Chains A and B, each alone.
Chain A
Amino acid sequence: MSGNPAMSAPVIETLFQRFLAEMLEDRIAVGALLVFAALVAVAVMAPFITPQNPYDLAQVDILDARLPPGTKASEGFTLVLGSDGTGRDLYSAILYGLRISLSVGALSGVIAMVVGASIGLVAAYVGGWVEATIMRIVDLQLSLPAVLVALILVAVLGKGVDKIILALVIVQWAYYARTVRASALVERRKEYVDAAVCLDLSQSRILFRHILPNCLAPLIVVGTVQTAHAIALEATLSFLGVGLPQTEPSLGVLIANGFQYMLSGRYWISFFPGIALLLTIVSINLVGDRLRDVLNPRLKR
């Protein structure tokens, strides 16, 4: 596709091709993308590539508890990363935990994006006191640290996966709303919006089919970074014991469980889930960083 760029006709596809080419220029970003893709892949395939289902009590032997990495389990397979306090194979537990962490992060990110983007669009389009009120709430929320807001929300909402997702959405929607409003304010003054208005298209059609697609670039960047934030935040809450319950062991829960063994030198129970968490967050952030450079027209040469 990039074999002869001078010859390629100016069709719509070239935009995406240029995006792809620029994305691939940065080796670090490509590496990060590969790491992230690999993490998603192993998380999805977890049941097929792990020696045991760590949450099927019949498969877990308590006699295997707290074994260091490399020991043989009583079932015969090798505990590559050791085992945790209840005798679960840590490698299996991490992959299952990664599933939960990723899905909670992605789900809360998507819901927050839909909610936040819609509110931001409406604010920019309607204007007046509606916009003023919405933006006041956004400013207010962004002025308070996310960890604290999330903690208090959890105190108010209670425990459970749905509650955590709700708390993450409430913490995050404001970022999307502010981003979309900023770009929508610029877009709505452009001629194509006037043209759409003259064609007597419905307001929702103008908003969602005309203005929104042109606000997507910054939205994608914010979405990437915010998803990484959501995963980190969920892990933090779970670590503090107010996040996901033990029945939904995300990486944060695994790290929290290993904490008590760390002081006696059994580092692996917290260390390896932490590495998985770290790889996830850093790889998403690096991809987001590159996306910001590629999608920002102000930085284009």
Chain B
Amino acid sequence: MSKQLVVETVDLTKAYDGVTVVDKLNLRVEEGEIFGFLGPNGAGKTTTILMLLGLTEPTSGVVRVCGYDSTREPLKVKRITGYIPETVGFYEDLTAEQNLAYTARLNDLAEWLIPDRVGESLDTVGLSTAADQKVGEFSRGMKQRLAIADMLVKMPQIAILDEPTIAIDPEGVNQILDLIKKIAREHNMTIIMSSHQLNQVQRICRRVGIIGKGRMLAEGMVEQLMKDALGGGRFKVEIQLAEVTADIVDRIKQINGVVEVERSGDLLLVGCTQDLRPQIAKAIIAGDGSLIGMKIKSYALEDIYMKYFHEV
């Protein structure tokens, strides 16, 4: 492996009163990558994150963040890790600036550095105009951006975001995702983002881990996972014919880019690597078939996800 491992867990297990929430989880995150941590509610994402930060003790197994054991040296881990909890909160009676300054002080930042650092962070997330506003007046989206600024104040090497886009309107989600991307690039920060919103993870994460019932179901590059999960290619064309003949099936199979053809009743399901509807239509007509309808579906992470969860 060329890049250094930033986060590594070995057989990480957490049980509450005999119920195993995280089960022998092996997670590896490399330096500088944006890692998507996927799973439905209750899969153990938050518990894993809390163990990474040393906020919860694992029942067994090892967590290492930048070489520090999170269980034994939580303070060292917390110094280099920024964390945005799922339900992030601020002191509503304090201004944005005061909230961030408090975080800065808790991180032992020198007093003379604080105003600049806080100003820069607010600038990055586009909240410098609201610096003197009380956080109580902030919208949900603003608070989430403030949470990112709060994380930037300590200049962490790793950022752990727990469901950063939950309960935010589509435009706010875009802003936040762009922001995360930008920060990762500019500060060369490793980012771990948990979510169950697959399309969002897909937009910014190169590598993902899918967790279900506390176990890692799949881990890898998004494209690779798709190939593995969908042997039949990225697109699926659903064709309805008056009558399905072997000739038509053969003709469709011969089209360049068709991976598989599946028959179910009077429906044909064609897996292909790109949108081949025109070619398929031609083939059907050439085969003297009568075409009733044709639909195309593009596969996304969602389908991978569904596939894995059907297996559980």
- Asked if A and B are interacting partners, one says no
Contact residues of A with B, CB < 8 Å? none
Give the interface of B toward A (CB within 8 A).
Answer: none
